[in-house]
Structure 1
Amino acid sequence: MNLAAHLGLRLALVALLCLAGAVAWTLAEARSGLAHEAAVSAERIAAQFGRQPGLGSAGPAARLAGDSPSAAPAVLTLLPGICAEIRLGAEAPRRYCGDWDGLDAAPAGLRAALAPRAEAVTAERAVLYRGRAVGSVTAWPDPQAAASRIWRQVRLAGGLALALAAATALLGWIATARLVAPAGRIVRGLERLETGAPASPLPRFAAAEFDRIASACNGLAGRLAAAEIERIDLLRRLVAVQEEERQVLARDLHDAFGQCLAAAGARAASIEAAAPRDREDLREEARGIEAVVASMRESLRGALARLELPDLAGAGLVEALRDLVAQWRGHVRAGPSLHLDAAGDLSGLPPETSAGLYRIAQELLTNALRHGRPSRVFLRLEAGPGAATLTVDDDGGGDPARALAAPGRGLTGIRARLAALGGSLSLTGTGSGLRARATVPMPA
């Protein structure tokens, strides 16, 4: 649940509590009003009878003016919805109720709940004639009328309170949503920062707290961008140093080890030629040494081919890849078929990008042929708008997740080269094998 919804629920809860308070206050106020009306009605009737001539002789034979409730003078002084009981001397008690139109009848449950309380609200006044008490008047709210009045007031007050509560909750939610809206922009900025995607600086916000957070995020983004530039620069230097070391190692192997192998081969040939005719064993040993030397020369040529870069500036990257594929075809004569496809204009590739793509192609072909059992391997180099893509497909099986998690420096070195070039690597499954795709930017 987001912050706006959380605060909106809090406001709604507060509004409901206010609604409950308003209903309780309305009930108490309605009961107080009914008690006041009962008291007023009792006082009016007592005052009316106190002014009636001949009341002092009231007795069993005395009668009030008019026997029927509709004609009784007491009814005229009763407020609507109020009932009264009049006791005068030894006369039988008389009950009267004020007119009530019966509209807005309360629900049955509310009437049943309020009836005992309404009857308990009574007001009693003495009937005084010339300073002497000759009777009493007791007034109370009619339960049906009281329930109706309370129900009407509760509906009015509850409806107003509910409308105000809903409006308060809605306006509070809108205000809160607008207030915390910068949090969403800050989170999206941090997510882009996490993925390494370029992100524009966060703007200034009206809320001081969010403005400080945005300033801190912008500062962090600036420091991370500077650190990323330094990292890429270090990777470029590392790749350059590695390439220089490869060239130095290739020259040393060629100059020192190659000469030693040549000398050993020449010495073995000399021994074979100078051996006596009866020393066939000596000649056999010499031929064995020559075979070992020839095998070591072949291994040395393969190592030099992997260490040395071809003349990419002269022959071009595509020709260098064709030679690389031809070398592998020579190594795996009875193995999988190798195919190379090139598309697009690759003449605008910078030298370091061409060298990086060549090294990546070397490593991807090595991984496909040495760590799987493919029947075919496709290598495709394509120049698109703003980027060059090198793709290696094979049908030798394999799991991309396991390949990415496997120990080794092959994919690590590829990622380092691509990071130095500002590129990326993806490794996916094709159903029958793996597809490795390296993408590097091209100058416009």
Structure 2
Amino acid sequence: MILLIGLVLRVMAVVALCVTGATAWMVLEVHRGIHDEAVGSADRVVREAQELAWRELTWRGSAGRYAKYAFPDWRSSHTLRFISPGNCVALTWEGEATQTQCSGLETAGGPAPAWFEALHRSLLGPSEPVRRSITLNRREAGTVVATPDPGAMVRQVWRQVRILVGTASAMAICIGLLATVVIGWTLRPAAVITRVLARLEQGDLAARLPRLRSGEFDRIARAVNALGHRLERSTAERKVLTQRLFQVQEEERRTLARELHDEFGQCLTATGALAAAIEAGAPDRPDLHEDARAISRITRQMMQTLREALAHLRPPDLEEFGLQRALQRLVATWQRRETPTLRLAVDGNLSGVPGPVALSLYRVVQECLTNAVRHGRPTDVSVHLGVSVDAVTVIVRDDGGGVPGDIIGAEGHGLLGMRERVEALGGRLWIGSAGSGFGIEAIIPIAGHALERSVHPPAHPASVERGEVSGSLERVAA
């Protein structure tokens, strides 16, 4: 729309420039024409005065080079035919008073505005009078001076300018309307291209542009389609790679958990047994007895830390008892260690959730609880899971306070990992405010839709809007 307005304004500016140039040229032509009319009036009056003078000589019989001529009074209606409208002609016979005759001063047009009259006088100035001599018997018998009337001249120029500007204004309006229609029709593909680019920005990588009639826009459409193909291919490859990376990460975690359990756990168990043996075998050595008790106490603390690390590396209940039991165990573990009230709500049956999706949901909830407790001061944290036919929704909400923009604008590795994990499975993650704290919502497709939606994002995750998420969070809060 802005481009259309800009182009129309440029067209109107060009029209206004042309009208200005045409007006200036017309003013000069009218000014020159008035001067030419003054010249013609002077020449015609000279011829008429000479004819009148010769008729007077013939009738009165005065002759001779130095005869006293009885010059006639030439001011009559017949003489006005020889004077152009808006001009005044002054005739002076030798030895007689000057006789002045003006023609059509009142018919030269309506009065011009004061500003136009001042502008005309400042730019062009007064018109020069035209002087001619009347010769009889090779003797100058009088003079004729033709002068355009200043007021009549300005009125004539103003009349022509008004006609030209009025006509040009009507043409400019017509040109502006036609230009708006033509340019708007020409720029219609730009709106289509903008809509497709917006869909690509929102994640709909399958959006494509049709063939366009304009060659330039069609080349842009082909470039946008090629970009969409490359984005779709690279996004699919990135999601596959991300899934593989998370698989490798989970395998490394399981391997590390197994090694810690087999090696480090056995060592701690042996250390605890030896400390207990020392404590029992040295009743008469208080110093050894106290050291053995300290070793046992430290060993128990290390065993607790090891169990927590193993639970973080490899959720034991996830494979043995399912996702819902693992989440209940996770929430209970955090509840024992931290002061906030943690609540878990599940709508639907989580037993049918595939393993990769279940593991991702567990990691998302785990990361959300970690961020809520460690980076805020919540008193209540709620976890809600909902299972539909084709997707699982998880919403975590807390009242820990803070500014949403600070977290959204500066996502750490935890939030970035959550987003990549969810998007690798074809889902969407939303982070924002929820009441007096933060809300995180993730939607992940399940079953046979997972692989397909990792390449082509589904309509359900892609349609997660701010209002829908906020409404879900409010329902969980209620």
Query: Which residue of structure 2 lines up, in the alignment, with residue 15 of structure 1?
Result: 15
Amino acid at match of 1:296: M
1:326 to 328, 332, 342: 332
- The answer to which of 230-239 and 359-368 deviates more is 359-368
Q: Which residue of 1 aligns with 2:91?
A: 86
Separation in structure 1 between the aligned mates of residue 241 and residue 344 of structure 2, nearest angstrom: 33
Separation in structure 2 between the aligned mates of residue 83 and residue 55 of structure 1, nearest angstrom: 27
Give the whole-Å Cα distance in 2 for the aligned partners of 1:426 and 1:162: 56
Which of 214, 229, 238 in structure 1 is aligned with 2:245? 238
Listed one character per residue, the Cα deviations across residues 169-216 of structure 1 (whole Å, up to 9, x for unaligned) are 554455444445544544554454445443622333334333323322
Paired residues for 1:100-119 under 5 Å: 100-102=105-107, 103-111=109-117
1:352 is displaced (CA, Å) by 1.1
Query: Matches of 2:2 and 2:181 in 1, distance apart?
Result: 13
- Name which of 294, 297, 317 aligns with 1:291: 297
Q: Aligned partner of 1:38: which letter?
A: A
What secondary structure sits across from 1:51 in the alignment?
helix
Once the two structures are superposed, residues 279-330 of structure 1 have per-residue CA deviations (whole angstroms, 9 ceiling, x without a partner) of 4544444444333333333333222222223454774422321222223334
Give CA deviations for 1:64-105 in whole Å, capped at 9, x if unaligned: 257xx4x45423433332221223333322111124444523
Unaligned runs of 5+ in 2: 450-478
- Indicate how the Cα distance of structure 1 residues 86 and 343 shifts in structure 2: closer, same or farther if over 3 A, else same: same
Match of 1:211 in 2: 218
CA contact (8 A) 2:390 2:446 kept: yes
Moved more, 375-384 or 404-413: 404-413
* Sequence identity percentage: 42
1:14, distance to aligned residue in structure 2 (A): 2.8
Aligned position for 2:456: none
* 2:466 alignment partner in structure 1: none
Question: Given residue 23 of structure 1, which amino acid in structure 2 is its aligned partner?
Answer: T
Are 2:310 and 1:304 aligned? yes
Aligned to 1:222: 229
Q: Does 1:98 align with 2:100?
A: no
Is the CA contact 1:19–1:158 (under 8 Å) kept in the aligned structure 2? Answer: yes
Task: Confirm whether residue 418 of structure 1 aligns to residue 418 of structure 2.
Answer: no
Given that 1:396 and 1:432 are in contact with CA atoms closer than 8 Å, whether structure 2 keeps it comes out as: yes
Q: Which of 428, 434, 437 pairs up with 2:438?
A: 434
| TM-score under structure 2 length normalisation | 0.78
Q: In structure 2, how many angstroms separate the alpha carbons of the residues matched to 1:396 and 1:72?
A: 105
Answer whether contact 1:42 1:84 (CA < 8 A) is retained. yes
> 1:147-183 CA deviation, whole Å, 9 max, x = no partner?
2222211211222233334444554455444445544
Q: Does 1:62 align with 2:70?
A: yes
Say if 1:368 and 1:396, in contact at 8 Å, map to a contact too: yes
Distance in 2 between residues matched to 1:10 and 1:21, nearest whole Å: 17
The answer to whether structure 1 residue 278 and structure 2 residue 284 are counterparts is yes
Distance 1:122 1:372, change over 3 A: closer
Per the alignment, residue 465 of structure 2 pairs with none
Alpha-carbon spacing, 1:280–1:133, altered in 2? closer, same or farther (3 Å): closer
Closer, same or farther in 2 for the Cα pair 1:413/1:65, shift >3 Å?
closer
Number of matched pairs: 438
Deviation at 1:346, TM superposition (A): 4.0
- Select which of 147, 156, 171 maps to 1:149: 156
Say if 2:82 is the partner of 1:77: yes
Question: 1:390 deviation in Å?
Answer: 1.7
Q: Deviations along 1:354-384, whole A, 9 cap, x unmatched?
A: 1110122122223323444433322111235
| Number of the residue aligned with 1:255 | 262
Deviation of the 1:235 alpha carbon = 0.8
The 5-angstrom pairing of residues 352-363 of structure 1 reads: 352-363=356-367
User: Residue 47 of structure 1: CA displacement?
Assistant: 2.5
Q: Which residue is 1:37 aligned to? A: 37
| Range 299-308 or range 379-388, more displaced | 379-388
Contact 2:408/2:432 (CA < 8 Å) preserved in 1?
no
Deviates more, 1:118-127 or 1:141-150: 118-127
SS of residue paired to 2:415: helix
Contact 2:205 2:232 in 1 (8 A): no
What is the one-letter code of the residue matched to 2:164? A
Most deviating of 52-61 and 195-204: 52-61
Counterpart Cα distance in 2 of 1:371 and 1:28: 81
SS of aligned partner of 2:111: coil
Counterpart in the other structure of 1:48: 48
**Matches of 1:126 and 1:155 in 2, distance apart?**
38
Following superposition, the deviation at residue 229 of structure 1 comes to 0.8
Residue type of the alignment partner of 1:206? R
The amino acid across from 2:45 in the alignment is I
Output the CA distance in 2 between the equivalents of 1:76 and 1:28.
26
Aligned residue identity for 1:328: W
| Displacement of 1:424 | 3.1
Contact 1:418 1:424 in 2 (8 A): yes
Structure 1 unaligned residues grouped into runs of 5+ = none
Any idea what the Cα deviations from partners look like across 1:110-163, whole Å, max 9, x if unmatched?
A: 456667978634334444557765433332323333222222112112222333
CA RMSD of aligned residues (A): 3.5
Distance (whole Å) between structure 1 residues aligned to residue 285 and residue 73 of structure 2: 166
Bigger mean CA offset, 15-24 vs 207-216: 207-216
Taking a change above 3 Å as real, the CA distance of residues 415 and 110 of structure 1, as seen in their structure-2 partners, is: closer
Q: Normalization by structure 1: what TM-score?
A: 0.84
Show CA shifts across 1:325-354 (max 9, x none): 22333444xx23221111245454322111
Please tell me whether residue 393 in structure 1 is matched to residue 432 in structure 2.
Answer: no
Secondary structure of 1:202's aligned partner: coil
